[in-house]
Structures are given as C-alpha cells and as structure tokens.
Structure 1
Amino acid sequence: MSQLANFVWGIADQLRGVYKPNSYGDVILPMTILRRMECVMEPHRATITQLAKVGRPDTLELLVRDQTGLTFYNTSPYSLATILEEPENLAGNLNAYLDGFSGNVADLFAAYKFDREIETLDNSDRLYLVLDKFSRVDLGPDALTNAQMGTMFEDLIRRFAAASNETAGEHFTPRDAVRLLVDLLVEPDGDVLTGSVVRTVYDPTAGTGGMLSVLDERLTEMNDRAQVVMYGQELNAQSYAICKSELIGKGQDADNIALGDTLANPQHYDQRFDYVLSNPPYGGDWKASQAQVLAEVDKLGDNSRFPGGTPAISDGQMLFLQLVATKLRPASEGGGRAGIVLNGSPLFTGGAESGPSNIRRWLLESDLVDAIVALPTDMFYNTGIATYMWVLDSAKADERKGKVQLIDAREFFTKLRRNLGSKNKEIGDSDRARILRIYSNFDEQTEDDQRYSKVLEPADFGYHEITVEQPLQLRFEVTDDALAAVTATKQVDKLSEENRAALLAGLETLRGQTWMDRSSFVTALRKASKDAGFTLPTPLVKVLWSKIGVHDDDAVICRDKHGDPEPDTDLRDTEIVPFDRDITDYFDTEVKPHVPLAWIDHAKTKVGYEIPFTRIFYKYVPPRPLEQIDAELDELATEIVQLLRKVEA
C-alpha cells in the first residue's frame, strides 16, 4: 500500500520547478481521484453510454445507480488513455472529460480549481507527462479495495499536509486524536450496534473528511452489516474537494457532503443524527456569519441551533458546541452522541450571565454533557495549546444521568521521534485504551486511575455572583485638589463666566472647615454660593459634593429619601458563591466579619457556570526544603568561582 502511495506521490517529480512542494497536492490529489473513478467506471462504460442515449438527464443518475451500483458516471467518450492519443489538444480534451461527469461529482474538480492546474501544466509542457504516468496506474477495485484506496488517499493527504505545515492543522486533524474521539463516541454502542442497522454521521466542519472516515471504519469494524450514512459541510473549497474525493475513492456516497458556511448557510438544517463530531477553528471569529446567526436566534430563540445564546464575536467555538448538540437525535428517537475538540476557553471564559456562561448553563442544565477529556499539549499540527474533547449525549445511560465525568488525560501520550509542525506527541494505542477504560469505569475507578477521573453533577459547576455594597460615607473639605476637580467638570465649564466666578468665590469661603455629614455640607454649600450671587441648581449640587467628598469610615452614612443607606460605587465588590453554599450563610461567614456595614444587593445577583478543569485536578506540590536549595546554591557558587579562576589563569 505504501509502495503504491510512494509511486503516486513520486509522479510529483514531474512537477518540480513548476510547483513548490507544498502545492504538489493541488495536482496529485485530483488526478488520483480522477484515475480511481475512471478505473471503477471502466467495466460499466458501455452500460453508462447506452443509458445516456436512452435516459433523460434528470433520471440518468438513478438509472446508473440501479444498473451499475455506481453513485457517479461520465458520459464523455474520453479516458486518460484516449486523451493522450491527441497530444496537440490535451487540455481541451481533459476539460471535456471532466465536464462529462455527473453533477454530484462535477463540482469536486471545480472546488480543486483543477482547470487552473490543467492550464499551468499545459503551458509548462508537463500535462502529457502527468497524464501518461496516471494512465498507467491501476487504481481499480481489483487492485485496491475501497478500504485500501481510502488508506492510500489518507496517506497522500498526510503527505500534502506535512508539506504545508504552516496550515496543516487548519483542515486536517491528527488521526490519533480522531481515533480517541471516535472510540469515546461509540463506546456505549458495543452491545446495541448489531444486525442490519443504519447509523447517520455528521461533521459540520468536515475538513478533509478524516473524522467521518475514521468513524465509518470503526462502526463497520464493530458490525460489518452496519450501513453508515455520512453527512458533512466544509467552508474551504479545497478541503471540501479532498473530503469528497476520499469518500468517492472508498466507494461511499459523497452526495451528502456540502460546500459552504455551516453557521450562515447550513445544508442539513432539519436533519438530526446518531453521531456528530467536529474540530472547529480555535478562536476564529464569526463576523462573516453574524447577521444570519443573530437573525436565526432572534426568530427561533430556544428552537434555533443556538438555544444557549451567542458568545463573543471573536470566538465562534461555542456556536459549534451548541450546533453539534442540537444536531443530535432527541431522546424520544433513541438519542445521539457528539464529540467536539475545543481549546480551553469554552470551559471558563466569560463572567456570570455572559454569552459563554449562558451557553455552559444551557448545556449542563439540559444534561447534555457526558464527559470532558483534557488532552496532552502539542497534539495538533498548528498549535501546542491545551485542548479538550467534549462528549455530549442526548439520551444518557441511567447511571450517567445528571452526572458529568472529567478525565485528565494530559499525561497519556507517546513522544514522537520527529516533530510534525507543532505536533510532538501522539496518543498511542495503550494511551487510548487507558482513557477508554477510565471513561467506561465511570465512578468505579481502579486505584491507579482514581486521580485521573472526577464525576460531578451539573450544579457543581454553577455559582451565584453576588454584589456586595458598602455605605457611602464622605468627609468634605474645600482644598486646592477639590477645587481643581470641580473646575474640570463639564457642568462647571458650561457655566457663564459670571456664575463660575461666583461659584468659586463661594467655595473659597468654605476653606478651613470640615463636614462629616453630607446634608450639613450641602446646606453650607448652597448658602455660600447664594451669598456669592449664584443659586445652585440641584443637578450641579450633586456634581459638587461628589467631587469634593472623600471616603471616611468615621463620616455619617449618606442616605436616600427613603432613609436607606446609599452604596459607595468605589467600594462595590462581587463575590462568587457556589451553588452548594447558602448565600446568606456565605455572606455572614465570609464577608460580614470583615465589612460589618456591608449588604447584598439581591437585584444584581447573577447565575454563572464555569468548568475549572485545572483547579479540579490541581495537585499540591510542596516546596523543596531550604537545606536542599542552599546546598544547590553553594554548589553553583563553587562552580562559578572555579570558572572565574580559569579565566584569570
């Protein structure tokens, strides 16, 4: 298999000088799938030609599928071999050949922008060489089974990704990560996935199709009679083409793979699935989809794809987190399971009742979160940051209902001998087996695994954010600093020159005095200004006392017209109270002893949710003994002295 892949990739030798190595895939991948489809069609060309003569265009696809079992066809008279018979018209005949494909695969070559590559190859006198090489490769079903073809095409994709390290991870998820995610999804299905079952699979960020393919292989491995129907959508045209190519190459129906923005223009909007999986861009904004997303939320609310609300415009991950949840079959139809790979921000970003917090609240209170697995760093091609797998379930098993399992798998990895971009770790077979064992054992872990798993309830992640107020207590003295603050205000600046002079003259008469009660100061302030020739309007009085007054614990508490204490906004603070603590008890125990005059403004109390993964798995490491540190410092000092002696010598 690898020899054949080497041979096909070796055709890229014909591209040297015309293409850079990271662009070889622009030719090799579409030519590989073209040759595979040609070889698959070869035994049926006569039948397809006859059907094309008698069948209508709108029924031809059904006729071909019925009589040949193929999901695509080509009605042109060309093949790679016959195109080579007219060297003077290679480009024109090749384009005509591509135009003869059925509509469900014709867009594949458009997505590859293959017409541009044909022109480049033709202008550089490379087209004949490439076509000749591919026409000699047997990629037919007798030479390569669908599974073998899929393996070879994946190998080519990986080589293409490796040659484009700077962007590889954007559309290609490492297979070790995909296998773990897939195994977590299907783990509960071992006993029920029997007989002639049908399973639907959906990836809203399909990329090159790796997740769909691995899940298909895993389900087929579990039950060779299972029929797996795959759906997906991908924004990047080339990745879409690769995804569709791989499915076609493996003999699968690629009609359900769509091109476009899943957030703004979903192509599978009304459908629900048995499995949903996704690896959306980390930290990518959703400005391009903003209008459509907000319109959907405004129109449909809880029935939209984003019932928890919308996150900050700078990070669209949590839109996809909700999307995969809402695309699952409901529990009434047997339920579904979803897996999505995200960075750390969806766990904790955003305060109480912010967009991200409300989304977490919806997921947790709806009991959709089954497990979250912390992965090792440096797992992906284009980033070394911490990543997490979220496993969602719309119909949890009884023992997992109302529970969330957190698994710390950051230590379960195998070091790569050579870095692949940012990737220098992989989850090996034994690592994956241990993670799956921890997941399966749930709340009955072995002694060795206990510290890697925590089973909590959704309420354990919830909290109340209370607002603690303290009374306004002000001392009033007219000083140079106070006068400067007063004259800098807009309200004083807008006064006429005469009134401003009168105001300042009145304030000057108050120098040298101190007031510990606001009402007394306001009375004196009004009188001084009136005596100076300017009657103060009430709004300006508030501006003046707020600029002149400074906090003093010994001052009289300022009260409103109802006699209630006014809060000092400068002393306002918030406290986080976990759901399992009574708010009043927490306040009396943790706050009141330190600020006896404080109170809670219950109107400002908010509900928030966060998943402090790192804090939950925090392990205290005691500092080293001072004696050990001193010994090391002495050793270093000795080494420095010896080095200095060598320099002096």
Structure 2
Amino acid sequence: MNQNLSSFIWSVADLLRGDYKQSEYGRVILPFTVLRRLDCVLEWTKVAVLKEYDKRKAAGVNPEPFLRKKSKQHFYNTSPLDLKKLMGDADNIRENLFSYVEAFSADVRDIFDCFDFHNQVQRLDKANLLYLVTEKFANIDLHPNVVSNEQMGHVFEELIRKFAEISNETAGEHFTPREVIRLMVNLLFIEDDEALTKPGVVRSLYDPTAGTGGMLSVAEEHLAQLNPDARLVMYGQELNAESYAICKADMLIKGQDVSQIVLGNTLADDGLAGQQFDYMLSNPPFGVEWKKIQKAIQDEHKQQGYNGRFGPGLPRVSDGSLLFLMHLISKMRPAKDGGSRFGIVLNGSPLFTGNAGSGESEIRRYVLENDLLEAIIGLPTDMFYNTGISTYVWIVTNRKPKHRQGKVQLIDASGLWQKMRKSLGSKRKELSDDHIEQITKLFGKAKAASTTDADGQQVPISRIFKNQDFGYQTITVERPERDSKGNVVKETKGKRKGQPKPDSSLRDTEDVPLAEEIEAYFEREVLPHVPDAWIDHEKTKTGYEIPFNRHFYVFKPPRDLAEIDAELKVVTDRIVEMIGGLSQ
C-alpha cells in the first residue's frame, strides 16, 4: 500500500522532467503531498468550520479556538475552496491556490512559507504545469479512512528519503539512520518501562536539532507500542527552513500538534527558552565551527554563567558539539521534579580533546562530577550518510538508578553491524534488530561483559568505571636553573626569595590519576629520575578525559620470530628463483 502510494505520488516527477532538475522534484512533490493530505483531513468538517467562521466573524470574536474545535484538528482552513474545486477554474488556478493556502491556520502557512511554496507555484505556472500537477494530486485519495496517520507518515518519510538520495545535498544533513534512532530510544526508555506503561501517562520529548523530525517520530512510535494510551508531547528546533517545514508537515500529517516546533539557531537563539523536558534526543552536526554565533555564545557564558546554558566552559570554535550537550543539560528537569534523560550522538573529539583547564575538559568535568553521565556506546564506523568516522552515543541523566550512581558504563558496539545491500553516501553498515537488542541488553544489565573475537580471544564489550577514573591532575614539575659552574641559582626577591629559581627550559608536566596522591606519585615516578625537581602547586589543574578506545584495547602478541623468518625465506627463495628465470 505505502509503496504503491509513494510511487504514485512520485510519478508526478514525469510531469516535472525537463522543466525541473531531478534534485528539485522534492520541492514540488513534498508540499503538494502535504497540501492534499490536509485537504482530505479537513474535508468532512469543512462545512461546519466555514459556518462557525462566519458566525464568529460577525460577532467580532477571535474565531481560532472555535475553528480548531470544529475541525477536530490542530489546524483549520477558512476558504470555501479545496483542491477539487480548484480544478473547476483552470484560468485562475494560481490565484485560487494562493488564496486557499493563505486561508490555513498560522502553523500550516508557516510550513508552506518554509517550503518556498509561493515561488514553486509561480514556477509551475510559468512552465504551464500548475494545473496538471494540482490535478494529479487532487485525484489522489489521502483521506484518513483510506490512509491512516501511521501509513501517511511512512509514505512521507519514504518520499523525504528518495528526495534526499537524489538531491545533491548529503542525506546526512537531514537524517539520522532509523536504526540508530531506535537504539537511542530503547536506551532512553529502558529504565522507565514501568512508569511509561501506566494509563494516561504524558511525557515530553525535545530535539534541539530536529532535522526532518525522525527522532521525534521514532520515539513516538516506540512509546505507542509500549503503551497505546501514553502521550508524547513533542518539542523541537531546526535551523534549516526546508527541514523544519518537512518536520512540521510530517507531524501534522500524523495528527500531531506542531505548535512547539520552532525555526532558528538553537545555540544562538533558544526558541524554547526556560522550558524543561522529560526526554531529549539529538544528533548535532559533527565538528561544525560556531564562529558565526561566537559573540552570542560568549556573551551568554560571561554574563549568565551557570544561570545560562554554558556555565562550565566553552569548547574551541572549530567544533560546537559540546555546546549542544550543555544546551540539553540546561533543559533537564530538576531531579526533585522527576528528572530527565537524554541521548546525544557525538564524534570522538568531545571524549578527549583539550588539556586540563580547557573548555572541553571543564565541560567533561562538570558532567562527571555531577554524576550525569550514565553510559557511552561506541558505534561502528560508516553508520552515517555524510561521514564514515567513529561516533558515540552519550546517555545523560540526573536520575540515575541506585546501582549506577557514581559510575559510567562504556559499551564498545563497534563490532556489531551488518553490511548494507546498497551503500547510501558514506553509510555502508547498519544495525540489525538483533544488534539493537544486544546493545540494549548490555546497557540494561549495567555490568562488565566480554565477547569472543575472530581469533577466539576474549575481548571486553562492556566496562564499568567510577566517575573519578576519568579524572586526573596535571602537575607542573620544575627544575633549578644552574650557573656556568653548575651551582643552583636562587631567587633574589618575591615570596620564593632564597629558593631555587626554576629553569623554564627544563619545565615539564605530569598527569596524575585523580584517585592517587600527588606527592606519592611524584616520589615514585619523578624523583628517582630527577632528584632536584619540585612541584609548583599553584599551577596544578584538574582535567577529565574519556579515552574510550584505550579501555577496549586488547594486546595481541606478535607472531613468533621463527614463523616470520620461515615466511620471509619462502618469499626470498621465490624471488631468487624468479630472478634466475629472467637471467636464462
């Protein structure tokens, strides 16, 4: 059913061929699909809505709340026209189509503005295609009693994917692979299954980088399977106007409220300022610089400190990933009000970039010292459409269950994947249902676990650490300056007067694990090698890093030397034989 319907809708491309590039088809097909769906959804309440509109207008009352009630939807349309009626006046189709779209409620008009629908209609009209395209859509039956909200959502998603694939833009700018979202949603809800299955439960979900709304949709589907009576109220913000339009349209098509989906730059201008949520999901752009919004971010950091979103520190301008992490932390409900949990996909650099005292290290320090990090899951490479790099899912919460408090779980899922039948951009691997279940179970058990590799060797796949295991103190080791005779030069003034003067060319640093005494470490590791050294305690800094791969590295001893020699002998004998053959 879905396949046939989306193929039928996509057949409009045959009309566009020649006048539109292939990569532009979606600009026509997506808004017209939305328009026809809304047209069909409102059909059976249209008479009642128009009657109510005239009545309230005559009374000089704001008709909006009454019209929503009459339409039994989150939107309405006050035009006597619909797509079928537009067909009856071919000469004025452009003007009539404009007036029909203008008569929708504000949220729907916003979607068509972001689709740049006005210009597409002008362009179709100029190419003498407007009537033909509108007719094609007017003849598709997208009534909810024929195509359910869920089916319509899948059709629309398929169209988005097709459009992204044939567009020159990378699909990854719009999409997070569905199976990655399913994994994240599993991890997000797993410890709350009991609460989420109570009748009439209402929870909020937020995505600050909503894209085309994939994370919100999959989370809603998952919760509906757990508990059909549960309601997930969805919130989101998206920077790209077209992705924003698609997200809102997709939700509207499924009968969801879109009033809390906002257009704009989440970091520079939080469209949902002051709001907090039960659950959050995000796949922010990897390694993208934030130079354009640097002033706004720095001003908030300096002026608001911990009352704003960026209190702990700021990462380097070349990568804004950790800004999104802090933004999500600022959106968490206080633990006393039920707390929050979120999942965010990050690349490798937020795990370890930056020395002690740097913005990145201070952000990690804040997360770990406040016991917010529950787990990090290392995903396989080649999982995303626009990059083949290693990626990591961070699960962050301020309501850890008792057995997880003070601890962090690391799961190495980089070996859990299957090859895709057909690559999509950089995406060559995918997670199967079994892989998702395996990772979810590892997370759920919250215990150390191993697996057997291809060589039959036991390798760790899940490890549990204390928060402080990722902390260290960077100490500055000084050594004295000496004169030409080798005598120690002394300080002549200041608070160190009479003490050895440090030689900056001999200055060094050491990283001491947080769990270890600095002096004991210094006596054991430094003094035996440089007996004249001392620590400048004023320069000591605390740092945090999560060297994920190091914790899963398994040493494999090199092969026996005799075995390597034997192999080399075979190769050299063969070369000698070949040379001999050439000289004959």
**1:63: which partner in 2?**
66
Distance 1:142 1:14 in 2: 28
In structure 1, the residue corresponding to 2:422 is in which secondary structure? strand
8 Å CA contact retained: 1:337, 1:394: yes
Find out whether 1:385 has 2:355 as its counterpart. no
Partner of 1:93: 96
**1:291: which partner in 2?**
295
Paired position in structure 2 for 1:206: 210
- Written as runs of structure 1 = structure 2, the 5 A alignment for 1:543-562 is 554-561=486-493, 562=497
Range 324-333 or range 448-457, more displaced = 448-457
Q: Is 1:84–1:90's contact at 8 Å kept on the other side of the alignment?
A: yes
How many residues of Structure 1 are paired with residues of Structure 2 in the alignment? Answer: 572
| Correspondence for 1:601 | 536
Call closer, same or farther: CA 1:430–1:140 in 2, change over 3 Å.
same
After TM superposition, the structure 1 = structure 2 runs for residues 314-353 of structure 1, keeping only pairs within 5 Å, are: 314-353=318-357
Q: Deviations over 1:219-249 (max 9, x none)?
A: 1111100111100000100000000010001
Q: Which residue does the alignment assign to 1:273?
A: 277
The offset of 1:307, in angstroms, is: 2.5
Q: Which residue of 1 aligns with 2:34?
A: 33
- 1:388 and 1:117 map into 2 onto residues whose CA distance is 40
Shift of 1:68: 3.0
| Correspondence for 2:527 | 592
1:189 partnered with 2:192 = yes
What secondary structure is seen at the aligned counterpart in 1 of 2:556? coil
Question: What is the DSSP-based 3-state SS (H/G/I as helix, E as strand, rest coil) of the residue aligned with 1:76?
Answer: coil
CA shift, 1:323, in A, is: 1.0
Distance in structure 2 (CA, Å) of the matches to 1:8 and 1:129:
13
Please report how far the alpha carbon of residue 300 of structure 1 lies from its aligned counterpart in structure 2 after TM superposition: 2.2
Amino acid at match of 1:81: K
Aligned-residue offset at 1:332: 0.7
Q: Which amino acid aligns with 1:557?
A: V
Show the counterpart of 1:47. Answer: 48
Cα-Cα RMSD: 1.8
Contact kept? 1:279, 1:342, Cα under 8 Å: yes
Greater shift in the superposed pair: 589-598 or 67-76: 67-76
Q: 1:644 to 1:32 in 2, by over 3 A?
A: farther
Q: CA deviation at 1:360?
A: 0.4
Deviations 1:30-57 (A, max 9, x none): 1111110000001011011112212259
| 1:574 and 2:583 aligned | no
Does the CA contact (< 8 Å) of 1:244 and 1:257 recur in 2? yes
How far off its partner does 1:639 sit? 5.3
What residue is the counterpart of 1:169 in the other structure?
172
Name which of 441, 451, 474 aligns with 2:460.
451
Unpaired segments ≥5 residues, structure 1 = 476-515, 517-553
Q: Which residue of 1 aligns with 2:455?
A: none
2:434 aligned partner: 430
CA contact (8 A) 1:165 1:421 kept: no
CA distance in 2, matches of 1:104, 1:416: 38
1:154: how far off? 0.9
* Aligned-pair CA distance for 1:3: 1.4
SS of residue matched to 1:181: helix
For residues 101 and 74 of structure 2, what CA distance do their matches in structure 1 show?
Answer: 16
Larger radius of gyration: 1
DSSP-derived class of the 1:276 partner: strand
SS for the counterpart of 1:192 is: helix
Q: C-alpha displacement at 1:297, in angstroms?
A: 2.2
Residues 187-216 of structure 1 deviation map (CA, whole Å, 9 limit, x = unaligned): 111111111110101001100000000001
Quick check: 1:307–1:362 contact (8 Å CA) kept in 2?
Answer: no
* Structure 1 residue 447 displacement after superposition: 6.8
Structure 2's unaligned 5+ residue stretches are 453-457
Write the letter of the residue equivalent to 1:86.
Answer: D
1:218-229 correspondence to structure 2 within 5 Å: 218-229=222-233
Cα distance change of structure 1 residues 458 and 29 upon mapping to structure 2, 3 Å threshold: same
**Alpha-carbon distance, 1:165 to partner:** 5.9
Check 1:173–1:643 CA distance in 2 against 1; reply closer, same or farther (3 A cut): farther
Match of 2:479 in 1: 470
Q: What is the rounded CA distance, in whole Å, between the counterparts of 1:18 and 1:242 in structure 2?
A: 23
Question: Which AA in structure 1 matches 2:320?
Answer: G
Matched with 2:16 is 15
Deviates more, 1:288-297 or 1:222-231: 288-297
Q: CA deviation at 1:166?
A: 4.3
Query: Residues 635 and 32 of structure 1: is their aligned pair in 2 closer, same or farther, counting only changes over 3 Å?
Result: farther
Q: Is the 8 A contact 1:166 1:382 kept in 2?
A: no
Which residue pairs with 1:311 in the alignment? 315
- Distance in 1 between the 2:570 and 2:77 partners? 78
**Cα pair 2:472 2:544 within 8 Å, conserved:** yes
Structure-1 separation of matches of 2:509 and 2:399: 37
Could you say if the C-alpha distance between residues 636 and 162 of structure 1 is closer, same or farther in structure 2, counting changes exceeding 3 Å?
farther
Q: CA deviation at 1:59?
A: 3.5
Change (3 A) 1:648 1:75: farther
Asked whether 1:627 is paired with 2:548, we answer no
Matching residue of 2:144: 141
1:563, CA displacement in angstroms? 1.1
Deviations 1:67-115 (A, max 9, x none): 3321111112222222222222222221121111111210101101111
| Equivalent position SS for 1:452 | strand
| 255, 258, 280: which one aligns with 1:254 | 258
1:355 aligns with 2:359: yes
Q: Distance in 2 between matches of 1:60 and 1:633?
A: 87
- The 3 A distance-change label for structure 1 pair 250 and 63 is same
1:18 offset after TM fit, Å?
1.9
> Normalising by structure 1, what TM-score?
0.85
Q: Which amino acid aligns with 1:560?
A: T
Shift of 1:382: 0.3
Task: Give the conservation status (yes or no) of the 8 Å contact 1:203–1:232.
Answer: yes
Which stretch of structure 1 is more off in the superposition, 48-57 or 333-342? 48-57
Greater alpha carbon shift after TM alignment, 444-453 vs 323-332: 444-453
- Assess, with a 3 A threshold, how the Cα gap between structure 1 residues 135 and 643 changes in structure 2: closer, same or farther: farther
- Work out whether residues 165 and 420 of structure 1, in 8 Å CA contact, stay in contact via their aligned partners in 2: no
For 2:538 and 2:277, the matched residues in 1 are separated by 42
C-alpha distance after superposition, 1:247-304 (max 9, x if no partner)? 0011111111010111111111111101011111111122222222222222321121
Aligned position for 2:158: 155
Which amino acid in 2 is paired with 1:584?
E
Distance 1:50 1:390 in 2: 53
Shifted more, 419-428 versus 281-290: the winner is 281-290
1:465, 1:389 → 2: CA distance? 28
Asked if the contact 1:344–1:388 (Cα under 8 Å) also holds between the matched residues in 2, the reply is yes
Does residue 127 (structure 1) correspond to residue 130 (structure 2)? The answer is yes
- TM normalised by structure 2 equals 0.94
Q: Secondary structure at the match of 1:118?
A: helix
1-structure distance, mates of 2:353, 2:33: 44
Tell me which amino acid in the other structure corresponds to 2:213: G
| Matched residue SS, 1:388 | strand
**Partner SS for 2:542:** strand
Q: Return the alpha-carbon distance in structure 1 between the equivalents of residues 459 and 333 of structure 2.
A: 33
Contact 1:165 1:382 in 2 (8 A): no
Partner residue, 1:615: 550
